[in-house]
Amino acid sequence: MDPKTYELLNGIPEHADYAVGAGDLDREDISEERMAAVRQLLNSGNEMERFQASKLLTSWGVHNGLIVLEEYMRRPEIIEGIYTHRLHGYDDTYRHILMAVTMYFANAAEVSGKELARRQVYDVLSKIIALANERPFEISEIYSFVHREKYSEYLPLLKQHLIAMVEHPELHRWKIKDAIGLIMEFDADFVRALLSEKNKILENFVKK
């Protein structure tokens, strides 16, 4: 990736010290020229540039970016392994996609309304939850999203996610307690019954 494209996809204006990454930028700190240039990268023949552009546009609340990002979810051989967890070394790509999609919801909801944004993100978030059933990456952003918005349509998926994790604690470890914390808000009886069935108690999953 050439320096100009890298800056386009990753640069943060000096005054925007609130942003950790380019995806965190407020709309007023994204110039029309930059927005147009990143949109143009959706036509790039370079898969890495196109993926990074789609993820950034998704974070900024651009629907075309979300559409292309969903395309990449159907082509995992291209994107898996782009990001690795800095401590444990596992593939962390889907968590980065998750963060972009939850940012999409926040930004798109301000423009088009929550109900439309809610429908637009459901499919991709559902796929990420399903992938997390068998992989070690974290989905804590979904827990925060569901807790904040009270979107009960995710509860069946997250219950299945918890079942999968309790059955394979060696893979999921500390993730289990986070899921329990959220599901307890919606259906504490389900959590108690599941742990009892598996001869477990909450303290078995306290992060160490």
Average pLDDT, the chain: 90
Of the candidates 133, 125, 7, 140, the one whose C-alpha atom is nearest the C-alpha of residue 66 is: 125
Query: Looking at the structure, do residues 82 and 168 belong to the same domain, yes or no?
Result: no
Is residue 96 in some structural domain? yes
In terms of domains, do 122 and 156 share one? no
**Judgement on whether residues 11 and 111 belong to the same structural domain of the protein:** yes
In a domain, 34, yes or no: yes
For residues 22 and 53, membership in a common domain is answered with yes
Domain that holds residue 11: 3-129
The pLDDT score that the predictor gives to residue 100 is 96
Provide mean pLDDT across the span 171-186.
83
Name the pLDDT band for 206 (thresholds 50, 70, 90).
low
Where is average pLDDT lowest: 60-69, 135-144, 169-178?
Answer: 169-178
Say yes or no: 124 and 156 in one domain.
no
89 pLDDT exceeds 70?
no
Would the pLDDT of 85 be above 90? no
38 and 119 in a common domain: yes
Q: Is 74 helix (H, G, I), strand (E, B) or coil?
A: coil
Checking if the pLDDT of 42 tops 60, the result is: yes
Task: Taking residues 84-95, report their average pLDDT.
Answer: 80
Answer yes or no: is pLDDT of 49 > 80: yes
Same domain, 33 and 95: yes
**Torsional sign, CA 132, 173, 79, 7:** positive
Domain check: are 78 and 160 in the same one?
no
Q: Specify the pLDDT at position 44.
A: 92
Domain assignment of residue 138, yes or no: no
Pure H helices in 86-174 = 93-112, 114-132, 140-149, 155-167, 169-172
Instruction: Please indicate, yes or no, whether residues 116 and 187 belong to a single structural domain of this protein.
Output: no
Residue for token pair 């986070």: 178
Q: Evaluate whether residue 49 is within a structural domain.
A: yes
Q: What is the pLDDT of residue 205?
A: 66
**Same domain for 74 and 114:** yes
Whether residue 109 sits in one domain with residue 48 = yes
**Pair (7, 109) in one structural domain:** yes
Instruction: Say if residue 46's pLDDT is above 60.
Output: yes
Quote the pLDDT of residue 198.
Answer: 83
